[in-house]
Chains A and B, each alone.
Chain A
Amino acid sequence: MLEVTELRGGYGDLVVLHDLSLSVGKGEIVALLGPNGHGKSTLLKAISGVHPATGGSILLDGEQLRGLPAHEIVERGIAYISEERDLFTEMTVFENLVLGAYGPRGRPHLDRNLQRAYELFPRLADRRSQRCATLSGGEARMVAIARGLMSGAEVLLVDEPSIGLSPALKRTVYEAIRHINDDLGITVLLVEQELEYALDLAARVYVLKHGRVLFERSAAEIESTEVREAYF
């Protein structure tokens, strides 16, 4: 479904992605592992067009995405949920969710997707008229994920959804992602630092190092020792 080939990118003179290639099948959950600063977040930003890649190709069902602006990529059905969340903090939860359906892809299904978001995270229904600046870290994370789904995406790119959350909230977030994948049929590409959570969710794992794929394994085959080695 999503085919990334020899992707190059970085920030100014700093090259972060060196000919990185990977693929994600329809309906899969794939996790990206690897040390910080080795290209995981940069890869998601490149796919979503938020920080465009400088070379290589990104195909979604055979259609080239590289070079398209971010809003066009949202229209093609890819939603990116950044680690920083990037919420509109002075707006309410409801307004944030409505903006998630801003484009022509999401707008016709606004009511249905709003309903779906509140079912996914019932707590957001209670908080719908609250300003996002006043939410807890966990709730803000829920808004970010729910807002991403409002566009009617078929592929969700999630950057460290559980970072900084308590174990209970981590579980809530992971159950939501599993539900998004199982019941809504949405493909997920996920950056996760914690191996345990990554293996629990994902069918396949890519380990990145120095902006390249170090290796790829199915979750069943992977040895925690080889992942640990990648970090040193």
Chain B
Amino acid sequence: MATVVSGLTLGSLYAAMAVGLTIVYGVSHVFNFAHGHVAVLGAYVAWLVLGTGLGFGAGIVAGSAAAVAVMVVFGWGLYRLAIRRLLTRDGWQFATLLFTLGLAILMQYLLLQAFGPRVKSIPTFTDGSVLLWFGRVGIHQLIVLLLSVALIAAVGLFLQRTATGQAMRAVSLSVPGARIVGINVERIFAYTFAFAFAVTGLSGILLGSTVFMTPHIGWEWMIKGFIIITFGGLGRIQGAVVAAFFLGLVEAFVTLYAGSLWIWPAWLSLFVIALMVRPQGIMAGRAA
């Protein structure tokens, strides 16, 4: 049961991280290879703020706010300065893939220059644990689970209830349709990058408090995000969330019974099997 809780916690973290990737893909059809590094950057920004001598409580709030601010500017600027130009060309799919791949490598080395290669982490929120009916569970783990689920729920509410969120969904379903109802599609793309990067930065902080961060770990997170959103049906948020929880549980049980060396083989074999059996994703054919 404790394994289930840690699996759900991992799943919620992966879901929060993958949601930004699937939103960007769903709306703009750009697959962002730098996605994992965006999450890591968010964690490093929070780590910097935490290091300024504010207490933990104030520091984590200020750090999260700073990460959101940096990510909004970064996402918006990246779209305006680079992605927008690439999208107007023939062969934009390949161009954006190569561009974000290059960006990921660049970000990795800039992070390495700025923070060095040593492993860092966001301090755990609290060290205590609580005795539930099945055993002891870390309070930190429960808080992370709660915050990740809250983050995903907030994203869902934003997309369902706000005019901008509705417009993002509209663009993801039909760009011509969005144009004829008067949506400024380019502006929605920019908002989408800003919004998804902010969410991803926050998920990076949660990840950084639970696992750890190095300048290189962005690749791992990106690949996990890629597997999750492919599993869930590209661009489908609910599918990605379900897939993330499933893979989080698998990871927890594999770690318990086979050891952490088997985590990647498990992820990748499930990925290959999923591609062979249901290449359209587990939720394809249902409502987005």
Measured CB to CB, the residues of A under 8 A from B are 48-50, 69-71, 74-75, 79-82, 84, 86-91, 95, 98-100, 102-103, 105-107, 131, 147-148, 150-151
Contacts and interface: CB of A to CB of B under 8 A. Distances in A.
A88 B176 contact: no
A190 to B, nearest CB: 16
Given A98-B166, A102-B167, A131-B287, A91 B173 contact: yes
Contact of B180 (A86, A95, A98, A106): A86
A148 B184 CA distance: 16
B179 interface: yes
Contacts of A103: 181-183
A120 to B, nearest CB: 17
Contact of B287 (A87, A90, A100): A90
B180 A102 contact: no
Contacts of A148: 180
B266 interface: no
Contact of B170 (A49, A69, A88, A150): A88
B163 interface: yes
A71 B166 contact: no
B182 A70 contact: yes
A88 B167 contact: no
A95 B173 CA distance: 12
Contacts of B166: 95, 98-99, 102
14 contacts: A70-B180, A74-B180, A84-B176, A86-B180, A87-B177, A88-B170, A89-B173, A89-B174, A99-B166, A99-B183, A103-B181, A107-B163, A150-B181, A151-B181
Category for how many chain B residues contact A = 10 to 19
B179 A50 contact: yes
Interface in B165-214: 166-167, 169-170, 173-174, 176-177, 179-185
A151 B170 contact: no
A116 B173 CA distance: 26
Nearest to B236: A90
B182 A88 contact: no
B110 interface: no
Contacts of B176: 50, 82, 84, 86
Contact of A102 (B163, B173, B174, B287): B163
Nearest to A73: B182
A99 B174 contact: no
A88 B180 contact: no
Contacts of A81: 180
Contacts of B287: 90, 131
B240 to A, nearest CB: 16
Interface in B139-178: 163, 166-167, 169-170, 173-174, 176-177
Nearest to B183: A102
A75 B182 contact: yes
